[in-house]
């Protein structure tokens, strides 16, 4: 549709020559809340849109009519369950947080103004919930360096200040970032070219508010802070004060968008809108405006929205805090950018039918109020250019009558010279010219003559990407097909950049990955895929399908991964999951399940078992036979559901919620009489498809069903949801999203090394063993395999095996299967709180909570070795009849210290068979782990090398802004020791001293008890080194009479400690302190040769000092396992968080000592103050 104009011509010619995307006719909308709950009940000046009705003929576009949306199913289980959204939006960061852009064609087709339905969204976390009744009472402040601080409500803002309305295009700084991510991964997620939108915003000029608050002299910046609580505090940023005060900049405190109250995703009820700058400066859910003398120190202002120098890599950026804080790299004004919207990606145009030209069209924008003055198109990669037509719908608002009111605000555009919005361009290109071209590229230029660059400027955050926009032309039979550079995030189709990269093209060669004129004859190597090698390159044997099938049994089992054949015979006993895990895959192609479950360490072992590769014909036969179609008749007749070598499908029929994050999933077997077929103590494999990527996800679970149950299978699953700053469980969340009554899930089994056969008889890796007592230790959903074995023992009256069950959880609500466990314990004559298992008790059940409520009367504390010894007792010499079963987080098993308990009595081991009792695994863990895991311990410390023993210092931990500490043990010992020393100044009776001292001593003892390998030997060498060189190390302390001090010098990777005697300063020079020497600068009179001689002399003196110094050996550091164990014992998060808390506690001691917190707060009179008024009795 063409824009309606009062005149068919302007000074620049007929308007109808410039085609615009359609803008629907004027539509008046009431205030509609986009949260659940329907129509708004708010009645106030902000809701009065009567003045929005057309007053005569209008020349400017009005917003399209928005759709009636609803809360989408994927948002129901997130903190954004109150926000209604358009399903067309493309999610760029998964389900939550909500970061989206519209399909490019839909965005363009909607016209100059974008509805809230298709407006891009950038949320760092959950959307604050603000009910309609709270909107007008929403409070915000103007504070800081102002003469008159203000505290206002939205009602005050509407009533007391002039309202204005004008169009503004907002653009995310990451627009087109996907192109940078294809070249090299940045730290940002992948935006396509639709990270921009335009709307009519209504609100109050920020300058009006600041003028009333009256900034003080010296104020230079205005900081904004929103209400969105994030991992690193509330989102905030800043802009320069002079921009905020400048009416030409048009910075607005907005409360309406396209005539409606703000949508929750767009800042309901109040936000900042800054024209011409990146969207990251337009803070949503506004709560504070702070005038200051310096830029914002908000974490998100410093570590987001920057263009760092291109040579800084993501790895290097983690250790460059000063670079991040350099305001020269902060982004404010947008750069000049453009994109081709039509032809769309993968659009085809017939060469024989239809018009002989194609109308190319798209958008362009500039920043800082600049106007895009030209858009150029090239068909020969920049050798020649053609000017395109440009239209500026924004200019139509400038023609509106003076003081016209739109959506409750004066249409404040007639006087403005600045451009706040995108513009549109188009150009008709003959199909014959397109048929002769490889590609079409465009570039825009603004009124400062700044033109888009030819090549990309890559940076660590991938922001402000604006090279020429290139669309590749493919010649198909009788048609042309157009290929855009990328598609946003997960949208299939890729784009030419991903295609070229996969084909081995170098996207940074200056020719868009194509061969340059000098490379025409050079061979192109495909991009190397960095992966763990699973084969032995020396093995060349070809194996046929017949040979493979001879090894599909228990003896010499062979299996296939990626077409390569492996012999698992040598690993039958060593496999953590038992021989059945290998035998179950014998003679089969197990590529999918092997790669989905096994860790990098497990994959690295594969070359040792590689014996050859299947020939092509055999591999094809194996793949075709991998999933034989099973007839319904066969399933109906099969008495046992589980099969060790074949996946069996079961229908999800019910979900029952038993705690906030735990559900029982019920699956229907093939017929009512079919048994599960799972021996006691073993588990099964579950497989389903990731709904986002369609990749197979496999995990091991222990159902709560008995193996003899018929018709149904019940599996208890703890669901790990995504949260701020961490990713949840892929399997559990995918399982939770399956629709009841429709979804089929694959099962295979049984799997596991341990089996309980009844009456004290067990099988460990197929070998029988008799036990008289089980010690069962579990936590969380790790109770399910324990429950299986306990149920088998307790329900058999003839089974006299005794059981001690220790079940640890955080809070009482986390205790799973509690009623069932209590009932089983009652059958055994014991239960929680009974005496240690005596002759009359078949079962003793003990619960302990690490974070109990006040009403809890059971044991308190973590599952550790002390609890084990107290409740179970130490092993007795000659006691070979006790078996310990462990199922829970890895940290729990370490704190129980069962390995050490084992080593205490090597002749009478306390058997530990947690090898196969499990409820889940992770893709990064082995198929069957040595210690059963309810889940992998939530370990956010990222390891740069997966198989590394030590955590890499400075690597990301997974917590924003927190990096891996280089030496946590020595740091904590220093901090705790210093804290205890300072506490001596407080009275012993002080509760503050007693509490802090007790906790600090406890944690200090834990840290000191955890020693890295080789620490004792290092300490002896260090003590001897100090004793042998008292001069050097004596200088490390303060107050030496000889003025000596220590100098630490690092040279060639070694650390030297050098004694340095400080020369007393010439007292005669003191009288000149503070005065400026205006004499000649002798530095400039020295020759280069003299300066080099002086430098050489300095180097010789340094070498001489090092010879007299002592080489210091660095202290051994804790391994990753030791750090995780220490974290579990301390129980206060990551070790880096523990260090931060210890630093804060040390600083707090000084404050508490100064405040004398142990003294009474009651005001006491000075001695003798009231003596005169005292009456005698």
Q: Could you tell me if residue 1171 is inside a domain?
A: no
pLDDT in the model for residue 402: 87
Same domain, 795 and 843: yes
Same domain, 850 and 815: yes
Do residues 673 and 641 lie in contact, with contact meaning Cβ atoms separated by under 8 Å?
A: no
Mean pLDDT split into 10-residue runs, the chain, 1177 residues: 32 36 37 41 34 55 94 88 95 88 96 97 94 95 96 96 97 95 88 96 97 96 94 92 96 97 97 97 97 95 94 83 93 97 94 90 97 97 96 95 93 93 97 94 96 95 96 92 85 79 88 70 45 79 85 80 84 62 71 65 78 80 56 61 84 88 91 89 84 72 88 90 75 86 84 87 83 88 90 90 90 88 82 44 88 87 78 66 81 59 37 36 29 32 41 58 76 89 87 85 88 82 74 48 48 54 47 44 56 69 59 77 83 82 88 78 58 52
Dihedral sign computed on CA atoms, order 496, 497, 503, 505: positive
pLDDT in the model for residue 1072: 44
**147 to 156, 213, 291: CA distances (angstroms):** 20, 6, 11
Q: Other C-beta atoms within 10 Å of 285: how many? A: 23
* Residues belonging to the active site: 172, 304-305
Same domain, 676 and 726: yes
Burial degree of 743 (CB within 10 A; 0-12, 13-18, 19+): middle
CA distance 582 to 765: 12
State the total domains in the chain. Answer: 6
Q: Other C-beta atoms within 10 Å of 377: how many? A: 20
Decide which of 620, 649, 680 is a domain's last residue: 620
Q: What tokens does 420 get? A: 């706040």
CA distance 476 to 483: 12
CA distance 905 to 681: 26
CATH number of the domain where residue 792 is located = 3.40.50.80
Same domain, 268 and 294: yes
Same domain, 556 and 605: yes
- What is residue 1116's DSSP assignment? P
Decide which of 910, 938, 966 is a domain's last residue: 938
Do residues 398 and 191 lie in contact, with contact meaning Cβ atoms separated by under 8 Å?
A: no
Domain that holds residue 829: 753-938
**562 to 535, 565, 622: CA distances (angstroms):** 10, 8, 11
CA distance 243 to 206: 10
Q: Could you tell me if residue 526 is inside a domain?
A: no
3-state class (DSSP) for residue 869:
helix
CA distance 771 to 755: 13
Dihedral sign computed on CA atoms, order 475, 478, 483, 489: negative
CATH number of the domain where residue 676 is located = 2.40.30.10
Same domain, 796 and 821: yes
Cis peptide before 186 (omega within 30 of 0): no
C-alpha dihedral, 625 to 631 to 633 to 637, nearest 10°: 40
3-state class (DSSP) for residue 806:
strand
Non-local (6+) Cβ contacts of 1089 within 8 A are: none
Do residues 678 and 644 lie in contact, with contact meaning Cβ atoms separated by under 8 Å?
A: no
Q: Could you tell me if residue 1092 is inside a domain?
A: no
Same domain, 732 and 792: no
Cis peptide before 269 (omega within 30 of 0): yes
Task: Give me the helices (H) in 173-298, please.
Answer: 177-183, 206-213, 241-245
Say what the pTM is.
Answer: 0.48
Q: Could you tell me if residue 1103 is inside a domain?
A: no
Same domain, 166 and 224: yes
Q: Could you tell me if residue 642 is inside a domain?
A: yes
Non-local (6+) Cβ contacts of 400 within 8 A are: 58, 59, 60, 406, 411, 413, 414
CA distance 1145 to 1001: 13
Q: Could you tell me if residue 982 is inside a domain?
A: yes
Same domain, 354 and 472: yes
Non-local (6+) Cβ contacts of 637 within 8 A are: none
Same domain, 906 and 780: yes
Q: Torsion-angle region of residue 783: left (phi > 0), alpha (psi -120 to 50) or beta?
A: alpha
CATH number of the domain where residue 376 is located = 2.60.40.650
Q: Which helix (DSSP H) or strand (DSSP E) does residue 749 occupy?
A: strand 744-751
- What is residue 822's DSSP assignment? H
CATH number of the domain where residue 616 is located = 3.10.120.10
Same domain, 746 and 833: no
CA distance 283 to 274: 9
CATH number of the domain where residue 30 is located = 3.90.420.10
Same domain, 1004 and 1023: yes
pLDDT in the model for residue 493: 58
Decide which of 938, 973, 998 is a domain's last residue: 938
Q: Could you tell me if residue 1046 is inside a domain?
A: no
Q: Could you tell me if residue 1102 is inside a domain?
A: no
């Amino acid at each position: 549709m063409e824009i309606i104009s009062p005149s068919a011509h302007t000074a620049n010619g007929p308007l109808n020559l410039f085609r615009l995307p359609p803008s629907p006719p004027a539509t008046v909308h009431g205030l509609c809340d986009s949260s659940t709950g329907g129509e708004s009940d708010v009645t106030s000046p902000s809701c009065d849109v009567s003045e929005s009705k057309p007053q005569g003929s209008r020349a400017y576009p009005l917003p399209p009519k928005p759709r009636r949306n609803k809360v989408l199913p994927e948002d129901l289980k997130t903190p954004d369950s109150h926000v209604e959204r358009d399903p067309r939006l493309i999610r760029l960061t998964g389900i939550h947080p909500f970061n989206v852009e519209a399909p490019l064609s839909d965005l363009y087709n909607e016209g100059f103004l974008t509805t809230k339905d298709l407006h891009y969204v950038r949320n760092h976390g959950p959307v604050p919930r603000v009910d309609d009744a709270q909107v007008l009472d929403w409070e915000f402040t103007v504070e800081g360096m102002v003469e008159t601080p203000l505290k206002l409500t939205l009602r005050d803002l509407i009533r007391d200040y002039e309202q204005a309305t004008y169009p503004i295009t907002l653009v995310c700084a990451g627009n087109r970032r996907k192109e940078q991510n294809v070249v090299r991964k940045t730290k940002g997620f992948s935006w396509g070219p639709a990270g921009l939108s335009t709307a009519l915003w209504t609100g109050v000029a920020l300058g009006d508010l600041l003028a009333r608050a009256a900034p003080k002299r010296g104020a230079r910046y205005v900081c904004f802070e929103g209400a969105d609580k994030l991992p690193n505090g509330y989102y905030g940023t800043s802009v320069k004060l002079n921009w905020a005060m400048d009416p030409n900049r048009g910075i607005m405190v907005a409360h309406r968008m396209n005539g409606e109250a703000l949508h929750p995703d767009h800042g309901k009820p109040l936000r900042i809108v800054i024209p011409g700058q990146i969207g990251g400066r337009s803070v949503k859910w506004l709560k504070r405006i702070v005038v200051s003398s310096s830029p914002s120190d908000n974490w998100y202002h410093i570590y987001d929205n920057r263009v760092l120098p291109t040579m800084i890599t993501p790895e290097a950026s983690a250790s460059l805090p000063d670079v991040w804080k350099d305001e020269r790299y902060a982004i404010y004004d947008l750069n000049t950018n453009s994109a081709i919207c039509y032809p769309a990606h993968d659009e085809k145009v017939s060469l024989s039918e239809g018009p002989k030209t194609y109308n190319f069209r798209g958008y362009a924008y500039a920043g800082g109020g600049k106007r895009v003055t030209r858009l150029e198109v090239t068909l020969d990669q920049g050798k020649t250019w053609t000017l395109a037509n440009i239209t500026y719908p924004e200019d139509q608002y400038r023609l509106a009558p003076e003081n016209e009111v739109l959506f409750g605000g004066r249409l404040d555009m007639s006087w403005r010279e600045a451009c706040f919005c995108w513009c549109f361009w188009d150009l008709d290109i003959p199909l014959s010219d397109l048929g002769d071209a490889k590609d079409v590229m465009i570039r825009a230029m603004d009124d400062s003559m700044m033109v888009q660059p030819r090549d990309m400027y890559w940076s660590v955050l991938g922001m402000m990407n604006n090279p020429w926009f290139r669309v590749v032309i493919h010649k198909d039979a009788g048609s042309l097909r157009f290929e855009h550079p990328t598609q946003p995030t997960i949208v299939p189709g890729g784009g030419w950049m991903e295609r070229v990269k996969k084909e081995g093209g170098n996207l940074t060669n200056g020719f868009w990955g194509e061969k340059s004129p000098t490379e025409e004859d050079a061979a192109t190597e495909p991009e190397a895929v960095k992966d763990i090698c699973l084969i032995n390159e020396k093995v060349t044997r070809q194996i046929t399908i017949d040979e493979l099938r001879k090894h599909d049994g228990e003896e010499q089992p062979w299996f296939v991964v990626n077409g390569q054949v492996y012999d698992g015979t040598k690993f039958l006993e060593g496999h953590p999951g038992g021989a059945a895990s290998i035998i179950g895959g014998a003679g089969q192609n197990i590529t999918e399940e092997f790669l989905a479950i096994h860790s990098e360490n497990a994959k690295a072992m594969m070359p040792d078992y590689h014996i050859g590769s299947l020939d092509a014909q055999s591999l094809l036969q194996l793949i075709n036979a991998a999933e034989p179609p099973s007839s319904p008749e066969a399933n109906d007749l099969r008495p046992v559901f589980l099969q060790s070598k074949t996946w069996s499908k079961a229908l999800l029929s019910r979900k029952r919620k038993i705690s906030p994050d735990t559900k029982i999933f019920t699956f229907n077997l093939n017929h009512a009489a079919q048994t599960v077929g799972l021996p006691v103590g073993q588990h099964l494999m579950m497989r389903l498809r990731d709904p986002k990527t369609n990749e197979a996800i496999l995990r091991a679970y222990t159902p709560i069903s008995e193996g003899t149950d018929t018709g149904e299978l019940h599996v208890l699953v703890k669901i790990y949801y995504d949260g701020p700053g961490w990713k949840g469980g892929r399997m559990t969340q995918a399982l939770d999203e399956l629709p009841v009554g429709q979804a089929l899930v694959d099962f295979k089994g049984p799997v596991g090394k341990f089996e309980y056969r009844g009456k004290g008889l067990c099988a460990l890796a197929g070998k029988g063993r008799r036990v008289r007592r089980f010690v069962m230790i579990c936590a969380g959903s790790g109770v399910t395999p324990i429950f299986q074995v306990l149920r088998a023992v307790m329900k058999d009256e003839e089974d006299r095996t005794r059981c001690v069950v220790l079940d640890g959880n955080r809070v009482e609500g986390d205790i799973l299967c509690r009623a069932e466990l209590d009932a089983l314990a009652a059958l055994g004559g014991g239960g929680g709180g009974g005496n240690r298992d005596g002759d009359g008790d078949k079962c003793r059940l003990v619960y302990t909570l690490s974070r109990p409520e006040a009403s809890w009367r059971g044991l308190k504390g973590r599952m550790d070795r002390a609890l084990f010894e107290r409740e179970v007792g130490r092993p007795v010499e000659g006691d070979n009849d006790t078996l310990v079963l462990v199922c829970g987080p890895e940290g729990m098993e370490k704190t129980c210290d069962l390995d050490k308990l084992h080593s205490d009595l090597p002749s009478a081991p306390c058997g530990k068979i947690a090898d196969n009792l499990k409820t889940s695994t992770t893709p990064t863990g082995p198929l069957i782990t040595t210690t059963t895991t309810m889940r992998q311990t939530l370990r956010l410390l990222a390891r740069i090398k997966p198989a590394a023993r030590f955590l890499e210092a400075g690597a990301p931990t997974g917590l924003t802004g927190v990096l891996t500490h280089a030496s946590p043990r020595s740091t904590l010992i220093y901090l705790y020791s210093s804290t205890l020393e300072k506490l001596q100044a407080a009275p012993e009776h002080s509760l503050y001293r007693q509490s802090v001292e007790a906790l600090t001593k406890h944690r200090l003892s834990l840290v000191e008890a955890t020693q890295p390998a080789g620490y004792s030997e290092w300490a002896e060498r260090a003590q001897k080194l100090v004793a042998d060189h008292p001069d050097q190390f004596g200088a490390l302390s303060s107050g030496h009479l000889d003025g000596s001090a220590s100098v630490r010098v690092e040279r060639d990777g070694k650390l030297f400690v050098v004694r340095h005697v400080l020369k007393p300063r010439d007292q005669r020079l003191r009288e000149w302190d503070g005065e400026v020497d205006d004499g000649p600068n002798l530095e400039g009179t020295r020759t280069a040769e003299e300066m080099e001689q002086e430098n050489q002399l300095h180097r010789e003196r340094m070498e001489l000092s090092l010879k007299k110094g002592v080489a210091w050996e660095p202290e051994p550091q804790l391994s990753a396992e030791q750090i995780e164990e220490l974290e579990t014992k301390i129980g206060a998060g990551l070790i880096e968080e523990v260090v931060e808390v210890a630093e804060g506690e040390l600083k707090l001691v000084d404050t508490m000592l100064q405040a004398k917190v142990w003294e009474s707060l009651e005001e006491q009179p000075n001695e003798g103050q009231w003596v005169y008024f005292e009456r005698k009795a």
